[in-house]
Structure 1
Amino acid sequence: MIRIGGWARLSTCDWPGRLVATVFCQGCPWRCGYCHNPELLDPRVPAAVSWGAVTVHLARRRGLLDGVVFSGGEPLLQAGLADAVRQARALGFAVGLHTGGAYPRRFGQLLGEGLLDWVGFDVKAHPEAYEKVTATPNSAFPAARSLRLLLDSGVPHEVRTTVDPDLLDAAGVTALRSWTERQGVRGHVLKTARAV
């Protein structure tokens, strides 16, 4: 199904205004310098909890939780994500996704099937500065493609950027804000990187 590096049985901060369970998917193709979940980067790490255990918990929390958020790591790395999302929805939960958009084909599938109720989308930088932040070649194109898919889908979302001044200076933030505005982003949220 999906490989899970950890989870929060109750979260009030992973989906604004909702009480959710948050599933942290193992693995990420990018290596952002400020990553606050570095233990989730390696996709080969054995699962910390099974998806079956999560669904048992969810079944017991119907009527108490508003939804489930798939976070990471990068949840779209998981080939089984769509099936997990379908199962969560079959249990009666709304589904949120935290993503950087590294896999636009999988993202487009979720959006196209109407499987997502909300998306927290992490834009790392202006496209020309993406590789500096992600430490991964050619990371800007899939992210920009995924952002376009999200904006065109009409799915409620929050577009946000973690600002680490060592990776994204004031000029970089200005260039990024200008670029996101041209894409049609409204309410772009800037967050300060946490010390790790």
Structure 2
Amino acid sequence: MSSSCSSSLQRHASHSPLRIGGLQPLTTLDYPDHLACVLFCQGCAWRCRYCHNPELIRRRGPSEWSWNKVLGFLQQRQGLLQAVVFSGGEATLQPALPAAMRRVHELGFKVGLHSAGIKPASFGRALAQCDWVGFDVKALEEETALITGVSGSGQANWRSLELLLDSGVAYECRTTVHWHLLDCQRLQRLGERLATLGVRHFAVQLARPQQMLDSQLGAAPTPAEAGQLWPYFEQLFERFELRAV
């Protein structure tokens, strides 16, 4: 492909509207201390077995919101909502995301992002537009592919984490735990590695068996030793939370 043709395709991609598979009109949980809405962006390159939004994995969804409809909704919520959170799927895979974030800023909202940093370069471009990031650390770098099913996903996930920590953007790191996939010993090592990198805000999200991508996982009882892990994390991090997904 010629360079001129490639440039033309990139320009076309950057002007394509954001693909949004769903919208949550009000939340107090997805952006700390703010009234927010959540835009669920369509498409994800990973196949996390506990994923609870499997309908967002495909590049195109059955019931997408048009960007113009989203803008209309946001214009009606000016002065009522404080922030807009771009979630997924994986929002940073869409070239239109940074421009959409800038438009949200123009409307007077803060911008939040939920991401696993699937492609560090794309994550970095979106990060420049963010006021806050909820970052999904899937597992230890060398074990991430066991969760995502994708080779090399650990390197991408942890490289994006480094970009986040270097950016100065406010953040929370979170790890979703299904006890069939991540035991207490691995989770402890993960927490210690994050603390060594300088992570100060960490949350463990316990996966629920409803609507997971891998229906064979089922429910997993919480190990007894987890009761000792949570107080340890409270000491390890400036802020630690335990929550359900």
Shorter-chain TM-score tier: over 0.9
Question: TM-score scaled to structure 1, two decimals?
Answer: 0.95
1:147-188, Cα deviation, whole Å (9 max, x unpaired): 001101111111010111111111110121121112111131
Is 2:150 the partner of 1:136? yes
Q: Which has the larger radius of gyration?
A: 2
Shift of 1:195: 1.5
Q: Where do 1:179-190 residues align within 5 Å?
A: 179-190=193-204
1:5 alignment counterpart = 21
Shift of 1:111: 2.8
Is 2:130 the partner of 1:123? no
2:174 alignment counterpart = 160
1:52 alignment counterpart = 68
Shift of 1:45: 2.7
Q: Where do 1:83-98 residues align within 5 Å?
A: 83-98=99-114
Secondary structure of the 1:188 match is strand
Q: Where do 1:166-181 residues align within 5 Å?
A: 166-181=180-195
2:86 alignment counterpart = 70
Secondary structure of the 1:16 match is coil
Which whole-Å CA distance do the structure 1 matches of 2:177 and 2:37 have between them?
26
Among 116, 119, 123, which residue is 1:107 paired with? 123
Question: Letter of the aligned partner of 1:93 in structure 2?
Answer: F
- Structure 2: where are the runs of 5+ without partners? 1-16, 211-245
Question: Letter of the aligned partner of 1:66 in structure 2?
Answer: Q
2:35 alignment counterpart = 19
Structure 1 residue ranges (4+ consecutive) displaced by more than 2 angstroms after TM superposition: 44-47
Which stretch of structure 1 is more off in the superposition, 24-33 or 12-21?
12-21
Which whole-Å CA distance do the structure 1 matches of 2:179 and 2:134 have between them?
22
Q: What number of residue pairs does the alignment pair up? A: 194
Shift of 1:47: 5.2
Q: Which has the higher contact order (CA 8 A, sep 6+)?
A: 1
Shift of 1:126: 0.5
Which stretch of structure 1 is more off in the superposition, 41-50 or 70-79?
41-50
Which whole-Å CA distance do the structure 1 matches of 2:27 and 2:117 have between them?
23
Which whole-Å CA distance do the structure 1 matches of 2:80 and 2:169 have between them?
24
Secondary structure of the 2:135 match is strand
Which whole-Å CA distance do the structure 2 matches of 1:111 and 1:15 have between them?
15
Asked if structure 2 preserves the Cα contact closer than 8 Å seen for 1:28 and 1:40, the reply is yes
Shift of 1:46: 4.7
- Structure 1: where are the runs of 5+ without partners? none
Shift of 1:128: 1.2
Shift of 1:13: 1.4
Asked if structure 2 preserves the Cα contact closer than 8 Å seen for 1:3 and 1:46, the reply is no
Question: TM-score scaled to structure 2, two decimals?
Answer: 0.77
Amino-acid identity (%)? 48
Which whole-Å CA distance do the structure 1 matches of 2:121 and 2:26 have between them?
30
